[in-house]
Amino acid sequence: MQKYDVIIPVAGKDVGFIHRVVKYVQKHLIDIECIYIITNKKNIKKISKSINCLDNIFIMDENLLIDGLTINHIKNIARRYTNCTSPGWFYQQFLKLGFSLTKHAKKYYLSWDADTIPVSDISFFEESQPLFTRKNEYNENYFATIEKIIGLNKVEPYSFIAEHMLFDSDIVRELLKKIETCPVEGNTWFEKIMRAGDYNHPNPSFSEFETYGTYVMTYYPNLYKTRQLNTFRRGGWIRGRAISDQMLEKLSFDLDTISFEMRDEPLFPYNIPYRWWRLKDLLSKFFTNRPKVAFKKIFNK
């Protein structure tokens, strides 16, 4: 059996939920070895209390994972060279790719979303071949950036953007080296990615999964097999993140994964934690962003 590690980048909004995700990852993802929870230092103590950190579970400070890759540095790049208003969104993608550069990276590692619970047994290999999960999303702005940083266009009719991605560490490192040599201005692969984006476009400008999938299917077209899973992204509408294990068991009848995004509110009283988180999020944006950006985000909400 082919073994692999799991990485789960965790933002503040998911700290109170990650213990349930880890519980089900351990239960349903087949042949995993280590689990790495990557988060801000301020979250580590709280996560540690909710998770039994055994020999194969590690909680890591995201700002110490890769030299030079910190949230403050990403924010500085965003301010100096772009009109990007969501540097944290870029940062979590860079952590997933950058993990390949760390001493922890083995041959394969699986990036798993911190808001998603696997409810059925899932393997990521078929006869020793790694698997991509096919999806139906399409954003032309992703491919505009991909063309600038690695010179490729869309090569498959489906999307690679799922709630997870199985990375081959060797290929990710190769991809990052190629990005480092692209003609876009910037001193690092992550700065080049940010500066290649079109921020006047209504859609986001970069997807790490779409970029990796496009690269693999261009240069290693026979390496991965593809498959579809039964996934449901609106789990929050059912009972929110307080959903019971019994309810998850019932839903596993015809589902493989269920996601619980904070924006998907259940009915009262299950929506109380959501409203509380949104209030804290708005206050945080007000005090950490430039006034003009902060007011724009708050009024948009």
Lowest mean pLDDT among 5-9, 126-130, 278-282: 278-282
Q: Could you give the C-alpha distances from 235 to 18, 241, 248, 286, 288, in angstroms and in order?
A: 15, 8, 10, 29, 30
pLDDT of residue 159: 98
| Residue 260: DSSP 8-state | B
pLDDT digits (tens, 9 = 90+) for 167-187: 999 999 999 999 999 999 999
| pLDDT bracket for residue 87 (50, 70, 90) | very high
Fold (CATH) for 4-268: Spore Coat Polysaccharide Biosynthesis Protein SpsA; Chain A (3.90.550)
Lowest mean pLDDT among 62-66, 189-193, 239-243: 239-243
The mean pLDDT of 125-141, rounded to a whole number, is 96
| pLDDT bracket for residue 294 (50, 70, 90) | low
DSSP code string of 137-170: ---HHHHHHHHHHH-----SSSB--SSEEEEEHH
Residue 297: pLDDT over 60: no
Residue 200's SS3 state is coil
pLDDT of residue 238: 86
Residue with tokens 């009109």: 83
Rounded to 10 degrees, what is the CA torsion of 21, 26, 164, 69?
A: 80
- Residues 6 or more apart in contact with residue 277 via CB below 8 angstroms: 13, 262
Residue 301: pLDDT over 70: no
- Measure the CA–CA gap between 249 and 231, rounded to whole angstroms: 14
Domain boundaries, the chain: 4-268, 271-301
- Measure the CA–CA gap between 286 and 177, rounded to whole angstroms: 37
For residue 120 the two structure tokens come to 């059925």
Average pLDDT over the chain, rounded to an integer: 92
Whole-prediction pTM: 0.89
Residue 296: pLDDT over 70: no
| Residue 121: DSSP 8-state | -
- Measure the CA–CA gap between 277 and 166, rounded to whole angstroms: 30
Higher pLDDT, 275 or 152: 152
The rounded percent of the chain whose pLDDT value lies above 90 is 80
Q: How many CB atoms lie within 10 A of CB 18?
A: 23
Q: State the sign of the Cα–Cα–Cα–Cα dihedral 257, 91, 202, 13.
A: positive
99: nearest Cα among 212, 184, 21: 212
Residue 37: pLDDT over 90: yes
| pLDDT bracket for residue 105 (50, 70, 90) | very high
| Amino acid type, 300 | N
For residue 98 the two structure tokens come to 């950058």
For the chain, how are helix, strand and coil distributed in percent, rounded to 5? 45, 20, 35
- Measure the CA–CA gap between 99 and 108, rounded to whole angstroms: 11
